[in-house]
Amino acid sequence: SIQTEKPTTEEAVNENSTISKEMISEIEKINAENLKIESVSYNLYPVYDYSIKDKPPKIYGYRVINTIKASTTDLEKIGEIIATATETGATDISSIGFDITEETRKNAKNDALTKATLDASEKASAIANAMGLVIDSVLYITEGEVYIPVMEPFGLGEMKAVEDVLPPQIIPREIEVTASVNIVYSFTR
């Protein structure tokens, strides 16, 4: 987020816009693969002075908070994006989250279901062999649970804007997809 506070709405909005444009421009120069930058929220608030006793609070300025989200598939550039945002005026970097694309999600689900089906077939064959039976046919198959974890963002806390920020080392989390199937076989002797 970029937060600015000035005596007038115009000053607060203009300063925030200037910082935001520069930050976006500098992040785009990183050339991270599949970089997507989008606005998450934009808020303008009056800032009150509560220090005068026995009198209602008085507006002494205005605060703009512009929250911007940057996403990329280029995991090697995440630290550089954070450092660039901080160097160019970000006052709050609140979280990083890891996820997989829809295509990767679909492929991972299909792979997990394939492995679960092969595992079930191997187990059914082992059981049939132990009992002296032969698998005759599959009566029905149902997809059980497919688990693809939701990758919750983790917080970085507030970071103050400083020059020459070293890119933090960001280590992606592994996403494990699991699946189960229920298969009913018919057996013969």
Q: pLDDT for 20-36, tens place per residue?
A: 999 999 999 999 999 99
pTM reported for the whole predicted model: 0.68
Helix/strand/coil for 167: coil
CB burial class (10 A; 0-12, 13-18, 19+) of residue 88?
A: buried
Q: Which residue has the higher pLDDT, 63 or 154?
A: 63
**16, pLDDT greater than 90:** yes
Provide the pLDDT confidence category of residue 161 given band limits of 50, 70 and 90. Answer: very low
Domains annotated for the chain, with CATH where assigned, are 2-93 (3.30.70.2970), 99-151+170-189 (no CATH)
86 within 8 A of 167, measured Cβ to Cβ: no
Q: What is the pLDDT of residue 31?
A: 94
Residue of 16, 134, 130 lying closest to 68 (CA atoms): 16
Which of 144, 120, 143, 127 minimizes the C-alpha distance to 187?
127
Share of the chain above pLDDT 90, in %: 70
Confidence band, pLDDT 50/70/90 cuts, at residue 159? very low
Is the per-residue pLDDT at 157 higher than 80? Answer: no
- Please say if the pLDDT value at position 162 is more than 70: no
Average pLDDT in the chain: 89
Cβ atoms < 10 Å from Cβ of 67 = 16
- Reply yes or no on whether the pLDDT at 155 is more than 60: no
For the chain, the C-alpha Rg in angstroms (whole number) is: 27
Burial environment of residue 23 by CB neighbours within 10 A (0 to 12, 13 to 18, 19 or more): buried
- Between the alpha carbon of residue 148 and those of residues 98, 116, 144, 160, 183, the distances in Å are 12, 14, 13, 35, 22
pLDDT (tens digit, 9 = 90+) per residue, 82-121?
Answer: 999 999 999 998 888 888 888 988 999 999 999 999 999 9
pLDDT in tens, 45-75: 999 999 988 889 999 999 999 999 999 999 8
The token duo for 3 is 């937060």
pLDDT given for residue 150 in this prediction: 64
